[in-house]
């Protein structure tokens, strides 16, 4: 190599000698010619040019393949006129000996070595009066020579500037470093943004150069985005990927990037050997590292989504003292890797530890190197221990002043948490996995990551046996129950919470954690409207927490006591508990807990019609929730702000707030919050005179409340729907629902709700010709409202005013006032009983057909009524008897063998015989007569000749009739819609959600659920075709409450919103969908959905 350079120097120097003093001509014409067109980088070019006006040595650094050389070359070609003596380019890539750097520069400048004078002095003396730019390309392997050379030039040659490219800085005192970033990726999830991004533009251009017929189509845009994102926007990697379009589609390229080093092996535009394959580029960088740097890089690949210095020191350092890679060495080695552009600094926020990450291409390369060692398992163990320590340290802080900082830290480490959790399961480290889950439970709960947390707990607990300590399992089952409760799975939550309580009881009554379980059981009981049971649990929890000296937990129980008092209508006692709880939380600086309590205080003030005070509480609560990212609390508070606006008649404001609440509830998968917002949206629609829209919202709310088993919500919805039906003339169903609501309210003991139901009952009895009772009910409601201090809200007044007007007209003022006053003085229990009797009687009187002997309900709950009276659990003796009855309803001709396979899969023939006949006996006994279940021709069946009504059969009958009508004319299709509406109205929830049995229930449940969703989708399309966009939107929203991942429903809902003039809301809905799909399934919306979004953005019709 030395002889070759020397001969070149002599040859070029001889040629230059003939030109005398013209030795230093402008060599701009000798700049390398670009082999490819230049894409983007306008901001980087402008910044480089600006920096060259302030510094004389600028080094472009960055990872291998990030485009340093191409950027420097573009800068040189566009800036040549700015340098009087031109720009000289020196490519150092072919050199391996540092001693050849100065001769190579001399060759480029046509400078000949002079006798008795070092070549560097010859160079500097000749350049001393020249104004030029010297570009030194690819310096990273020759730093020992490049640094002294640039120092000499800058010291002697006042008008010379140096632009260097290197994977790490030259290390001189006068150097300015510019980190070349990857190409810009799309900033928005739209086709337009993708096509405009630098990375996708480069991919499309290089693909077309490789395959001239290639065109980026709407279908291939998103796969191209995935390619560019997975390659971190690195130009070299993108060009290598684009070259593969000759053989693969863009989607296939994206799918094969898991093995990128085998895929990305050819580049038609590359000239350097190390740029011919992605692996060669990485090998070049890796081989320039010291052994310690290589070891650290390998080990850092264990992290997913980045890491902190503390994590690197704890996980990656050698465990032996005085080792080459001990903790003390990590900082310097990590700094070296940052300077060599192999590690990227991604976050420097004051108060937070700096974060680092490997570009994904670097990480996969480093993982391959790690796999060549035997270090992975020990690194994962240390990483899991580090994550547990971080989680246990940070979890208490989530309820303290620095909670925002800790939420951000947990957010940043989420990928690492997931990686070690998966490894814990696969490696059998179940106790460590549960310890991590227990440390993250509060984070999952407040952030609204219910599904993720529940899935981890269920998988870990399914494998955890006696080897896992009891206290760990006890805490884990409690946490799982808490997440199930947040999802609205009350039946599952109470079952799991009781399992946790049993485990804690094994540890002793004073076990830390038992109080939390007892408190949770109280919360669940309160949601099931069993307030007496809730109070017993709360009082026990309060004693236990006070024994622990846990002031924060005590404040939580005080909050729950206040909430229970609020639900019973005792607003003064509720406010007392809540104010005490809020004071403790302010003192302890618990923003999340304070936000929760302020929210309920706002509800109380709203009930009292103190709207300004209520909104003040709600707004403070919302600010706190937004600060900590508490989506669960945000949806509640937004809902309450919407209700406060509704109470004041501000319907537009109410709709905006309630829709935002609904979106957040849908995003976090909280069926309870979805149900609440649907109920309140129904109330707003009713107040605005939109009866069909209101009814759709109420039906959705009822279905959800039945599914999660919440009595209070079911009662509230029944009350609201009864008021709507009374307005639309459906007196029979209004009486039925009003009776059900009042029955539930009286069981709950909530005076505020009892007042509502009495006012509704007054309307029904007045219309049914019982004006004296109507006046009496109005008087009782008035007395309750006066006692509680809860006046009528603006939208509630018309119902009361109509009932009063009807009763006054029938009775006259004097008689009305007397009845009204009598109602005010009667015992409330007596009045409620009278109202229940009357609404039941009125319901019976308007029924036109005789009631069947059995009424059977399998949708939303499993209930069998005999002559109108529900059969109790004790009537069935065993749940298997009830399951057998529903099985026979679903399988009209079932043999004993078939029944045995589906209901007793693990029983021996003898055991099956005994179990079957015992179960059959109790089923027949529960149904009051044996002939309900017949046995003929070796098959068992429910006797069809006897009169019964079964909601599942009726549901499927309506669907079958709808299918028949759909093939007819326009009038027939109208009948089909009526049948579909009747069918979906019957679907009040999933099939037998409260009955645990064989897999046949799951299969039947899924089949019925699919029929229901298909019916709603068909209804939605039919309403849309008839330009009934509100009804169509309601149908699609109801689909999404049952299956939030059905993208078709999301897309059609966007179209409905746009047709109603709510384009902004449609666009926001797309963003919510995009985030949901990214987080839960790791995929973007489909091209069809993106196309709708793009048309909306352009203002086009959809």
pTM: 0.57
**H/E element, 939:** strand 939-942
Single residue among 672, 687, 707 that ends a domain in this structure: 707
Co-location of 572 and 625 in the same domain: yes
pLDDT value at position 878? 78
Query: Which of 300-304, 477-481, 483-487, 833-837 is predicted least confidently?
Result: 833-837
Residue partners of 1024: CB distance under 8 A and separation at least 6: 1032, 1052, 1055, 1056, 1059
How many CB atoms within 10 Å of residue 634?
Answer: 24
Range of the domain at 1022: 952-1097
Q: Which residue has the higher pLDDT, 510 or 435?
A: 435
Paired strand residues for 942:
933
Segment 1066-1076 mean pLDDT: 84
Whether 420 is in a domain gets the answer: no
Residue 485: closest CA among 634, 702, 638, 632: 632
Cα separation, 475 vs 495, whole angstroms: 15
pLDDT value at position 5? 32
Whether 422 is in a domain gets the answer: no
3-class DSSP state for residue 491? helix
Q: What is the mean pLDDT of the chain?
A: 84
Q: Which residue has the higher pLDDT, 979 or 260?
A: 979
Confidence of residue 4 (pLDDT cuts 50, 70, 90): very low
Whether 428 is in a domain gets the answer: no
Co-location of 1031 and 1070 in the same domain: yes
Cβ atoms of 973 and 958 within 8 Å: the answer is no
Segment 582-592 mean pLDDT: 88
Confidence of residue 6 (pLDDT cuts 50, 70, 90): very low
Q: Which residue has the higher pLDDT, 519 or 530?
A: 519
pLDDT above 60 (res 372): yes
pLDDT value at position 11? 39
As a dihedral over the C-alpha atoms of residue 331, residue 337, residue 338, residue 339, rounded to 10 degrees, the angle is: 110
Per-residue pLDDT tens digits for 432-488? 999 999 999 999 988 878 888 999 999 999 888 888 999 999 999 999 999 998 887
Co-location of 17 and 151 in the same domain: yes
pLDDT value at position 602? 94
Tokens of 456: 């981890």
Segment 846-875 mean pLDDT: 76
pLDDT value at position 95? 85
Tokens of 213: 């017929």
DSSP state of 861: S
Confidence of residue 162 (pLDDT cuts 50, 70, 90): very high
Whether 58 is in a domain gets the answer: yes
Co-location of 15 and 152 in the same domain: yes
User: Cβ-count burial of 727 within 10 angstroms (0-12 exposed, 13-18 middle, 19+ buried)?
Assistant: middle
- Angle (CA) 148 154 160, round 5°: 125
Residue partners of 140: CB distance under 8 A and separation at least 6: 166, 167, 168, 288, 340
pLDDT value at position 849? 43
Q: Are strands 307-308 and 355-357 parallel, antiparallel or unpaired?
A: antiparallel
What CATH number does the domain containing 928 carry? 1.10.10.10
Co-location of 975 and 1015 in the same domain: yes
Query: Which of 5-9, 714-718, 768-772 is predicted least confidently?
Result: 5-9
Full DSSP string of 300-331: HTT-SS-EEHHHHHHHHS-SSTT-TT-HHHHH
How many CB atoms within 10 Å of residue 947?
Answer: 10
Please provide residue 531's backbone torsions phi and psi, each rounded to the nearest 5 degrees.
-75, -30
Segment 779-806 mean pLDDT: 89
pLDDT value at position 320? 73
Co-location of 112 and 236 in the same domain: no
Whether 389 is in a domain gets the answer: no
Whether 269 is in a domain gets the answer: yes
Single residue among 373, 405, 420 that ends a domain in this structure: 373
What CATH number does the domain containing 10 carry? 3.40.50.300
Cα separation, 554 vs 545, whole angstroms: 6
What CATH number does the domain containing 615 carry? 1.25.40.10
pLDDT value at position 417? 94
Query: Which of 685-694, 743-752, 820-829 is predicted least confidently?
Result: 743-752
Segment 120-131 mean pLDDT: 88
Per-residue pLDDT tens digits for 879-938? 888 888 898 888 877 888 888 888 887 777 777 778 888 888 888 888 887 878 888 877
Query: Which of 38-42, 73-77, 435-439, 551-555 is predicted least confidently?
Result: 38-42
pLDDT value at position 1065? 82
Q: Taking the CA of residue 4 as centre, how many other CA atoms within 13 Å lie in the half-sphere pointing to its CB?
A: 6
Tokens of 152: 């000499």
Confidence of residue 637 (pLDDT cuts 50, 70, 90): very high
Residue partners of 529: CB distance under 8 A and separation at least 6: 567, 710, 711, 712, 715, 744, 747, 748
Q: How many domains does the chain divide into?
A: 8
Co-location of 170 and 201 in the same domain: no
Full DSSP string of 1059-1074: HTT-HHHHHHHHHHHH
Whether 159 is in a domain gets the answer: yes
pLDDT above 80 (res 1090): yes
Co-location of 356 and 240 in the same domain: no
Single residue among 179, 206, 229 that ends a domain in this structure: 179
Co-location of 599 and 653 in the same domain: no
pLDDT value at position 14? 42
How many CB atoms within 10 Å of residue 620?
Answer: 17
Per-residue pLDDT tens digits for 525-541? 887 767 778 888 998 99
Q: Which residue has the higher pLDDT, 843 or 202?
A: 202
Co-location of 617 and 671 in the same domain: no
Residue partners of 549: CB distance under 8 A and separation at least 6: none
Whether 429 is in a domain gets the answer: no
Co-location of 691 and 792 in the same domain: no
Co-location of 152 and 205 in the same domain: no
Segment 292-315 mean pLDDT: 92
Confidence of residue 370 (pLDDT cuts 50, 70, 90): very high
């Amino acid at each position: 190599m030395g002889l070759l350079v020397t001969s070149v120097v002599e040859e070029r120097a001889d040629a230059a000698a003939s030109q005398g003093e013209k030795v230093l001509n402008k060599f701009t014409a000798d700049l390398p010619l670009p082999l490819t067109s230049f894409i983007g980088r306008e901001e980087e070019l402008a910044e480089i040019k600006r920096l060259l006006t302030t510094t004389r040595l600028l080094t472009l650094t960055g990872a291998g393949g990030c485009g340093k050389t191409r950027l420097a070359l573009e800068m040189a070609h566009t800036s040549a006129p700015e340098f009087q003596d031109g720009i000289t380019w020196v490519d150092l890539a072919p050199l391996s000996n540092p001693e050849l750097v100065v001769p190579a520069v001399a060759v480029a400048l046509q400078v000949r070595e002079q006798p008795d004078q070092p070549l560097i002095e010859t160079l500097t003396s000749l350049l001393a009066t020249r104004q030029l730019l010297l570009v030194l390309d690819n310096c990273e392997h020759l730093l020992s020579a490049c640094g002294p050379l640039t120092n000499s030039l800058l010291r002697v040659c006042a008008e010379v500037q140096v632009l260097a490219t290197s994977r790490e800085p030259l290390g001189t005192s006068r150097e300015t470093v510019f980190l070349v970033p990857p190409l810009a990726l799309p900033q928005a999830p739209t086709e337009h943004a993708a096509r405009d991004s630098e990375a996708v533009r480069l991919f499309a251009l290089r693909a077309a150069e490789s395959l001239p017929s290639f065109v980026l189509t709407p279908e291939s845009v998103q796969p191209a985005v995935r390619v560019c994102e997975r390659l971190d926007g690195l130009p070299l990697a993108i060009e290598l990927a684009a070259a593969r379009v000759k053989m693969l589609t863009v989607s296939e390229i994206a799918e094969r990037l898991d093995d990128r080093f085998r895929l990305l092996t050819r580049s038609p535009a590359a000239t350097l050997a190390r740029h011919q394959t992605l692996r060669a580029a990485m090998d070049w960088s890796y081989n320039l590292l010291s052994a310690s740097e290589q070891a650290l890089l390998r080990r850092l690949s264990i992290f997913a989504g980045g890491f902190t210095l503390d994590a690197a020191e704890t996980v990656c350092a050698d465990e032996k003292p005085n080792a080459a890679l001990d903790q003390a060495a990590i900082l310097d080695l990590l700094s070296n890797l940052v300077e060599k552009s192999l590690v990227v600094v991604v976050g420097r926020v004051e108060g937070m530890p700096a974060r680092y990450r490997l570009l994904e291409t670097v990480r996969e390369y480093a993982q391959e190197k790690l796999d060549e060692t035997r270090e992975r398992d020990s690194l994962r163990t240390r990483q899991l221990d580090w994550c547990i320590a971080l989680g246990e340290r940070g979890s208490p802080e989530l309820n303290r002043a620095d909670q925002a900082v800790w939420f951000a830290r947990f957010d940043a480490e989420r990928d690492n948490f997931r990686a070690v959790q998966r490894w814990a399961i696969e490696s059998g480290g179940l106790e460590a996995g549960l310890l991590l889950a227990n440390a993250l439970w509060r984070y999952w709960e407040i952030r609204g990551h219910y599904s993720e947390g529940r899935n981890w707990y269920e998988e870990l607990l399914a494998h955890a046996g006696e080897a896992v300590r009891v206290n760990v399992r006890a805490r884990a089952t409690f946490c799982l129950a808490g997440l199930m409760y947040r999802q609205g799975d009350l039946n599952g939550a109470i079952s799991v919470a009781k399992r946790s309580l049993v485990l804690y009881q094994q540890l002793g009554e004073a076990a830390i954690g038992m109080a939390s379980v007892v408190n949770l059981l109280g919360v669940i009981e309160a949601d099931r409207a069993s307030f007496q049971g809730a109070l017993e649990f709360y009082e026990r929890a309060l004693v236990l927490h006070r024994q622990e000296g846990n002031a924060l937990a005590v404040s939580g129980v005080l909050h729950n006591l206040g909430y229970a008092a609020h639900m019973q209508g005792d607003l003064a006692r509720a406010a007392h508990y809540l104010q005490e709880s809020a004071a403790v939380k302010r003192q302890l600086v618990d923003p999340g807990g304070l936000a929760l309590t302020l929210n309920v205080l706002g509800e109380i003030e709203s009930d009292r019609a103190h709207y300004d005070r209520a909104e003040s509480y709600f707004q403070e609560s919302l600010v706190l929730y937004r600060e900590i990212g508490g989506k669960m609390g945000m949806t509640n508070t937004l809902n309450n702000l919407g209700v406060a606006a509704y109470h004041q008649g501000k319907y537009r404001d109410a709709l905006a707030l309630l829709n935002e609440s609904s979106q957040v509830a849908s995003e976090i998968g909280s069926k309870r919050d979805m149900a609440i917002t649907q109920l309140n949206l129904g109330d707003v629609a009713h107040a605005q005179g939109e009866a069909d829209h209101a009814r759709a919202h109420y039906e959705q709310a009822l279905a959800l409340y039945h599914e999660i088993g919440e009595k209070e919500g079911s009662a509230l919805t029944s009350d609201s729907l009864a008021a709507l039906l009374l307005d639309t003339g459906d007196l029979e169903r209004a009486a039925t629902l009003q009776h059900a609501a009042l029955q539930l309210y009286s069981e709950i003991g909530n005076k505020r709700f009892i007042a509502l139901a009495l006012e509704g009952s007054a309307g029904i009895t007045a219309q049914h010709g019982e004006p004296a009772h109507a006046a009496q009910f109005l008087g009782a409601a008035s007395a309750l409202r006066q006692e509680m201090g809860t006046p009528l809200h603006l939208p509630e007044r018309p119902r009361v005013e109509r009932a009063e007007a009807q009763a006054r007209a029938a009775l006259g003022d004097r008689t009305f006032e007397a009845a009204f006053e009598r109602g005010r003085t009667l015992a409330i229990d007596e009045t409620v009983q009278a109202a229940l009797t009357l609404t039941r009687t009125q319901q019976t009187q308007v029924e036109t057909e005789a009631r069947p002997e059995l009424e059977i309900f399998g949708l939303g709950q499993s209930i069998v009524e005999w002559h109108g009276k529900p059969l109790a659990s004790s009537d069935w003796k065993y749940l298997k008897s009830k399951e057998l009855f529903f099985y026979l309803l679903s399988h009209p001709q079932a043999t004993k063998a078939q029944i045995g396979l589906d209901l007793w899969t693990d029983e021996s023939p003898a055991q099956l015989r005994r179990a079957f006949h015992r179960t059959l006996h109790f089923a027949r006994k529960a149904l009051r007569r044996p002939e309900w279940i017949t046995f003929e021709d070796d098959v068992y069946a429910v006797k069809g000749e006897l009169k019964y009504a079964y909601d599942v059969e009726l549901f499927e009958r309506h669907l079958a009739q709808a299918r028949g009508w759909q093939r007819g004319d326009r009038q027939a299709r109208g009948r089909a819609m009526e049948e579909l509406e009747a069918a979906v109205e019957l679907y009040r929830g999933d099939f037998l959600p409260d009955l645990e049995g064989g897999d046949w229930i799951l299969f039947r449940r899924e089949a019925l659920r699919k029929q229901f969703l298909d019916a709603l989708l068909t209804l939605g399309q039919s309403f849309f075709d008839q330009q009934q966009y509100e009804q169509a939107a309601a149908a699609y929203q109801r689909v999404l409450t049952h299956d939030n991942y059905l993208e078709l429903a999301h897309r059609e809902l966007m179209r409905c919103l746009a047709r109603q003039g709510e384009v902004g809301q449609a666009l926001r809905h797309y963003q919510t969908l995009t985030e949901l799909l990214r987080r839960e399934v790791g995929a973007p919306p489909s091209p069809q959905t993106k196309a709708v979004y793009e048309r909306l953005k352009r203002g086009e019709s959809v």
